Structure 1
Amino acid sequence: MYIAIIGSGPSAFYAAQALSNNDNNKVDIIEKLFAPYGLVRYGVAPDHQKTKNIIKLFNRVLEKENVNFFGNIDITEGISLNFISDTYDAVILATGASKDKMLNIKGENIPGVYGSSQIVGWYNDDPKHVSLSPDLNTENVVIIGNGNVALDCARILAKDQKELEGSDISSSTLKRLSSSKIKNIYIFGRRGPKEAKFTISELREFKELENFSIKVNFSRELIETYINDDSIDTRIKKNLEIFNEFYDIKNKNKNIIFDFFKSPVEIIGDQFNKKVKIINSNKDTTIINTNLIIKAIGYRSSSINNLKMDESNNFLLSNNGYIEKNIYATGWAANNSVGVIGTNKARSLDVVKKIESEIVSSKNNSTDKLIEELKRKNINFISKKDWESLDHLEEKNAMSNFIREKFRTTDEALKALKQT
């Protein structure tokens, strides 16, 4: 059976791993960008290399003879989904969720107001976002959201070069961060510390920051009351215990401020001078001057080929992974964008089982037909061998004490390949 997987993030590789265990299956991973790994390469923070170690597993999948990789292929512009569906026995959409959810407040589209996918993409050298120029000369940064992505954004903005050693952050991004004038990073949540979606390990990292003290705009007495409340979940208590420890961190010249029960209601100003209007549960108003606002309130998928979306327009509508004809979906493309990297492994395995029970192999030479079509359309695709070369070059070009120097654009990658 010939199966095309659109996308190359964790869900795609989990599906490819399961499918490739059957030698009769031929799996082609088709990726919009020149590099594989999706969320792991471009979403996981550069200082979280342990999390990125999952790439070693994905590489073992890529090494299999019955798995191919085709990068730099956009199914909305180059090869169509209809062509892929007609050419392969089955198609799995594992395109993730890369669009930011909206606050739906006035001023949200003013330049300098970013979704977290943009900022995360910027500091991770995602080709879609490397051209961004967030204002790091502003004294105040406002981050809206109480999940791990909000913590990632705050932590990366707070770290200096020494703290980022051992990461895969690029020299150009590091240079920008090193000249930052940021003094205060506000993390606003519309609910309280009990409801925050932070994981313990991410929250704990803030205790180790060299240049920023941590402030919690919430009653310590109430935090301690929560900690001693037997009805509160253990995971929540562990987070609260870390918040309680934040009160004892000595003051520094710069601050990260956790502020709860606060909601943005309006962003006022223009590209160069902005204010965020915040209200609390008592309807009291706070105004913060800032030129960098980050919305970290979740992601949603993009529609593909006019396929139906769910009622909230967040992900592709499917019946346990089945969409239509021979097309299936998995991961964040087919479910709410929640959980860690391994969360969607079970869903990918379920989709694979569904395909193997429902699809009868009838196609031949699908990979050859794909390559013929790519050549006919003069698409400069990145092969598995090409990616191996680029991967080696990124590691070779790394700064001292850093993991790799990523190619930041497709043109850079293609140029490097011509020189090898």
Structure 2
Amino acid sequence: MPHVITQSCCSDGSCVYACPVNCIHPSPDEPGFATAEMLHIDPVACVDCGACVTACPVGAISPDTKLDDGQQVFVELNAAFYPKREGKLPPTSKLAPVAEAPAVRPRTGGPLVVAVVGSGPAAMYAADELLTQEGVRVNVFEKLPTPYGLVRAGVAPDHQSTKRVTGLFDRIARQRGFTFYLNVEVGHHLSLAELAEHHHAVLYAVGAPTDRRLDVEGMELPGTHTATEMVAWINGHPDYVDLPVDLSAEGVVVIGNGNVALDVARILTTDPDALARTDVSDRALEALRDSRVREVVVAARRGPAASAFTLPELIGLTTTQEVVLSAEDHELVRRDLSTEGDALTRNKLEVLAKLGDSAAPIGRPRIRLVYGLTPKRVLGQDRVAGVAFTVTGTDEVREVGAGMVLTSIGYRGKPIRDLPFDEDTAVVPNDGGRVVGRPGVYVAGWIKRGPTGFIGTNKSCAAETVHNLVADYNAGLLADPIGRASAMEKLVRARQPDVVDAAGWRAIDHAEIGRGGPDRPRDKFTEVSDMLAAAATAPAPSLGQRLLSGLRL
């Protein structure tokens, strides 16, 4: 009974290290790991121990006998990654090599103290890597009262298995030496210079919070948004809860065909009763119940072989939604299949080849994938009426009617106060995470490498940064902070009396889960004031806890 990795794989890599027979590949030490859309379990070598199931932070691994109908295709996909073997079992091996944790050399002045700005995956993986060492302290600063960044606000609500990684982050946050300073914005409440005074190092893991903008006429019209804004609205992010989403028209166009584009298309065509069992925001759910959308067109500039979405995402989409292609696009798929040699791309094309024909009457809301169209302008006078495309590489113009246009052409980092910024690459210039020209300041995640990879990709990215940070500390290159931990605590509370600590976050978390009742994982607060009110119900720390906090170096 071999185990199988399914579409919610996040490439965290923990399963690789847990496997006693090295049957999960590509592993983090192999060249293909950084670009892999998913990992694969060798069905012949798997010994059915279940260690990978326990290690996976998003619940993406199951025995082949427990897969539902929509997941059966992953049995073949996992097996196809490995070469055919005739009557000979592959040799088992020792555990895949685990990168050693950075060894911190103790100093007489106190423990290594690091400020981490941001609380998404890169930030939490960096904190975890640092806290493998005895005595290290990590203070995590987040501008919202709730942590975990895009996992909370950027993962589609019907992908609850992916959101399970927050359970891992909660365990990291409970480690000795970890402190949350939520609802505290660095650059507003505190400056980089002040953080640097109170820590040996400051590590920014703030992601790429903005979208690449589509520079065509009409993008300023009402009814144009980015797919990222839509996902944040669907998830109830406080900054996007009032996004003016109008679903009164039957057509929506999404420009770009990455995973986020498919997420939005899927949510807009999903039965609201199914979404009601997720953590979708109440306001978004109400709007989706009243939606008149019948077709979401996902438009790509290049051909099917260059599709930006991952194979697991495509498989998940086609097993739950009605997805169609025009006869012309079916011909493009057949053309690419006749010439494509890459196995992964061929698998995508074979799935696309089985899709229905867009000429069929529209029954339930559906998704139409279109290829070879370059956006020329957004149509409309007072609001969006559609998009005019040119057939890529020609002057031929095609118009697609729509009442809403969403762009999904990638994320982009934004400048950080007091740090250098490369406008071309939209990252902070760095060498292995060390910020160029700023000793003691580091970056991890998308602001370091650009918006590439998956949730778990941030683990190896953060590990590289932390190893270099610790090397600098051990070499005596990082100055000791001023004062005790209590000085940082006092400064934060003086600047932001509404700071939310770990106990406050647990109170918010508990309240949201309670609001969800028996049918929903949680009912999220979407207003900061409501989050703060929930955080205020957290029990006050005991006298002993306060004394210990004041005594920490």
Q: Give TM-score scaled by structure 1 length.
A: 0.94
**2:343 is the alignment partner of 1:234:** yes
Segments of structure 2 that go 5 or more residues without pairing to the other structure are 1-111, 539-553
Which of the residues 280, 292, 298 maps onto 2:410?
298
The equivalent of 2:126 in structure 1 is: 15
Determine helix, strand or coil for the equivalent of 1:386.
helix
Do residues 394 (structure 1) and 512 (structure 2) align? yes
Q: CA deviation at 1:46?
A: 0.8
Residue from 319, 330, 338 that aligns with 2:444: 330
The residue that corresponds to 1:346 in the other structure is 460
- 2:345 partner letter: I
Distance 2:506 2:485 in 1: 19
Aligned partner of 1:117 in structure 2 is 228
Alignment correspondent of 1:193: 304
* Amino acid of the structure 1 residue aligned with 2:352: F
- SS across alignment from 2:377: strand
- Contact kept, 8 Å, 1:2 with 1:90, in 2: the verdict is yes
Q: Identify which of 490, 499, 524 aligns with 1:406.
A: 524
CA 1:224–1:287 in 2, change beyond 3 Å: closer, same or farther?
A: closer
**1:66 equivalenced with 2:180 (yes/no):** no
Q: Aligned equivalents of 2:507 and 2:534: distance in 1?
A: 9
3-state secondary structure, aligned to 2:116: strand
Residue 65 of structure 1 and its aligned partner are, at CA, apart by: 1.7
1:236 deviates by 0.7
Per-residue CA deviation, residues 317-364 of structure 1 (Å, 9 max, x unaligned), is 112211112110010011110111111211100110101110246225
**Counterpart code for 1:54:** V
Q: Which runs of 4+ in 1 moved over 6 A?
A: none
8 Å contact kept, 1:169–1:402: no
Cα shift at 1:379: 3.3
Structure 1 runs not aligned, ≥5 long = none
Kept in 2, the 8 Å contact 1:2–1:366? The answer is: no
CA contact (8 A) 1:275 1:288 kept: yes
Select the residue among 518, 521, 534 that pairs with 1:416: 534
| 1:375 paired to 2:493 | yes
**Relative to structure 2, which stretch is displaced further, 304-313 or 248-257?**
248-257
Contact map agreement 2:504 2:537 (CA 8 A) in 1: no
Identity %: 29
Q: Deviation per CA, 1:148-184: give whole Å up to 9, x if none.
A: 0100110011111233254221222211111110012
| C-alpha distance in 1 between matches for 2:324 and 2:274 | 17
In 2, distance between residues paired with 1:91 and 1:419?
31
Find the aligned partners of 1:218 and 1:149 in 2 and give their Cα distance: 25
Mapped contact 2:504–2:534 kept (Cα < 8 A): no
Alpha carbons of 1:271 and 1:123: their partners in 2 closer, same or farther (altered >3 Å)? farther
What corresponds to 2:400 in structure 1? Answer: 288
Q: Distance in 1 between matches of 2:524 and 2:323?
A: 31
Pairs aligned (count): 418
CA RMSD of aligned residues (A): 2.0
1:54-203 matches, cutoff 5 A = 54-203=165-314
With structure 2 as the length reference, what TM-score do the two structures score?
0.72
Greater CA radius of gyration, 1 or 2?
2
Say whether 1:49 aligns with 2:160.
yes
Counterparts of 1:255 and 1:77, CA distance in 2: 44
Seen in structure 2, the aligned counterparts of structure 1 residues 364 and 61 have a Cα distance that, compared at 3 Å, is farther
Native 8 Å contact 2:261 2:408 kept in 1 = yes
Displacement of 1:195 in angstroms is 0.4
2:297/2:368 contact within 8 Å kept? yes
Q: Distance in 2 between matches of 1:208 and 1:312?
A: 39
Does the CA-based 8 Å contact 2:224-2:406 persist in structure 1? yes
Matches of 2:482 and 2:418 in 1, distance apart?
28
Per the TM alignment, residue 316 of structure 1 is displaced from its structure 2 partner at its CA by 1.4
The answer for the alignment partner of 2:353 in structure 1 is: 244
2:424 is equivalent to residue 315 of structure 1: no
Please give the per-residue CA displacement for 1:27-80, whole angstroms capped at 9, x wherever unaligned. Answer: 011001111111111111111111111111111101112111111111122111
Q: Distance in 2 between matches of 1:129 and 1:10?
A: 21
Structure 1 SS opposite 2:171: helix
Partner of 2:21: none
